[in-house]
């Protein structure tokens, strides 16, 4: 199984997208968004998903119908054999397509974030030691790893749950890529193939779910 990945700038994707291609459920979901930035991210991500489908399976992007269930990734209408995972952060959005459940997370570092506070809230003691050398750069990578792992399993992302997951650089079903403006993590048992330029820096990760440890 090969997972197909694309990452691109929101503005460029919006410039390439025509008008009038959203499904009824997508329009309904977007109608509840009060932020113009959030709407732009939503539109760009949905167009990118259609572009990815057209590149791999044929047809025009507008011919692919996506549904937009609440608090869930998009689904391809009439194709239960296809799985999409999308993520957006700041000026960027990413999408992955596979024949099995996958988890994808993208983070664009933001200077105004309280990194120390987030580490205290979401990281295990072992992870804090890992982050000590370069907290800001490594934190975003570790964050994407945990989110991708949870997304693949359809779980909610909450601080209490993040504290139960211990990530470490090691061979596993997670891989991260580092670009100048973003970090991306993919959780899958398959290989990854990029349809947009692939960042040169990548790393494998594994996660242990501490909540499944037997009590001492």
The secondary structure of the chain as a DSSP string is: -EEEEEEEEHHHHHHH--SS---HHHHHHHHT---HHHHHHHHHHHHHHHHHHHHHH-S-GGG--EE--TTS--EETT-TT-EEEEEEETTEEEEEEESS--EEEEE---TTS-HHHHHHHH--HHHHHHHTSSHHHHHHHHHHHHHHHHHHTT----HHHHTTEEEEEEEEEEEEEE-SS-EEEEE-SSEEEESSPPPSEEEEEEEEEGGGSPP-
Q: Where are the domains of the chain?
A: 2-210
| pLDDT(216) > 60 | no
pTM over 0.95: no
How does residue 150 score in pLDDT terms, banded at 50, 70 and 90? very high
pLDDT tens readout for residues 51-77: 999 999 999 999 999 999 887 889 999
Dihedral angle, C-alpha 156, 157, 159, 165, nearest 10 °:
90
pLDDT attached to residue 70: 83
CATH class entry, domain 2-210: alpha beta
Task: Say which range, 3-12, 34-43, 133-142, 193-202, has the weakest mean pLDDT.
Answer: 133-142
């Amino acid at each position: 199984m090969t997972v197909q990945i694309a990452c691109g700038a929101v503005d460029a994707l919006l410039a390439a997208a025509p008008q009038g291609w959203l499904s009824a459920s997508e329009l309904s979901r977007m109608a509840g968004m009060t932020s113009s930035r959030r709407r732009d991210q939503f539109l760009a991500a949905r167009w990118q998903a259609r572009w990815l489908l057209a590149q791999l399976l044929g047809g025009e992007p507008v011919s692919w119908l996506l549904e937009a269930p609440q608090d869930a990734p998009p689904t391809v209408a009439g194709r239960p054999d296809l799985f999409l995972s999308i993520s957006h952060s700041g000026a960027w959005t990413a999408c992955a397509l596979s024949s099995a459940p996958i988890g994808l997370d993208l983070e664009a570092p933001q200077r105004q974030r309280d990194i120390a506070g987030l580490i205290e809230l979401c990281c295990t003691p072992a992870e804090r030691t890992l982050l000590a050398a370069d907290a800001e750069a490594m934190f975003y990578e570790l964050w994407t790893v945990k989110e991708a792992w949870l997304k693949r399993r359809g779980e909610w992302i909450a601080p209490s749950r993040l504290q139960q997951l211990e990530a470490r650089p090691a061979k596993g079903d997670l891989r991260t890529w580092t670009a100048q403006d973003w970090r991306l993590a993919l959780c899958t048992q398959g290989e990854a193939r990029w349809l947009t330029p692939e960042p040169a820096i990548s790393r494998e990760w594994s996660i242990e779910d501490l909540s499944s440890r037997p009590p001492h």
